Amino acid sequence: MEKQKYSLRTNIGYFLNKPVGFSRDFSINYPEVFIEPDLNVVNLASTLRFSRTREGLLLEANVIGQILVTCVNCLSDFLCEAKTEFEELYVFAQRSQDDLDMIIPDDGYIDLGVIFREYLLLEIPINAVCKPDCKGLCPECGQNLNENMCKHFLDKSDVQ
């Protein structure tokens, strides 16, 4: 069965003619979404608020999802929860101060995938562990000690 494709492009064009202070809340819930170029997120849920400011649009977001990562102890893949909150200002092109500003596109669509990807990747632990009591791999034969005990591990436990 082919995976359902979801777009994180959001139409914000109607905000441009609204008065300063106008805001709107949105929610996003997808069972699975692929964010270009390399991030697959399971159970993506987000609450968003776009607010019209003098400079552009302020995005306030809470994002949570699960990302497939590899345990540093046993090298098994598991879904790691990534949760983040952030605020970003998308400025009008004529108000842009430098190249780092996030500019509102001329077509009135913002791709939330770009910003979601950046913030979710920052939330993945550097040393992700599948469970707190992960036993890791046997240094002798490489057996995953969470699945089966090997003779090397059993021999060392008899000595102690």
The ranges assigned to domains in the chain are: 9-129, 134-160
The per-residue pLDDT of the chain, averaged, comes to: 88
Question: Could you say which DSSP state residue 1 is in?
Answer: -
Judged by average pLDDT, the poorest of 60-64, 109-113, 118-122 is 109-113
Residue 104, pLDDT above cutoff 80:
yes
Left (φ > 0), alpha (ψ -120 to 50) or beta: where does 110 sit? Answer: beta
The pTM for the full model equals 0.82
The separation between the first and the last C-alpha atoms of the chain, rounded to the nearest angstrom, is 52
**What tens digit of pLDDT does each residue of 137-153 get?**
988 888 898 888 887 76
Are 23 and 50 within 8 A, CB to CB? yes
pLDDT value, residue 86: 97
Both structure tokens of 106? 């001329």
| pLDDT(9) > 50 | yes
Is a pLDDT exceeding 70 seen at residue 31? yes
Say how far residue 84 (Cα) sits from the centre of its chain: 8
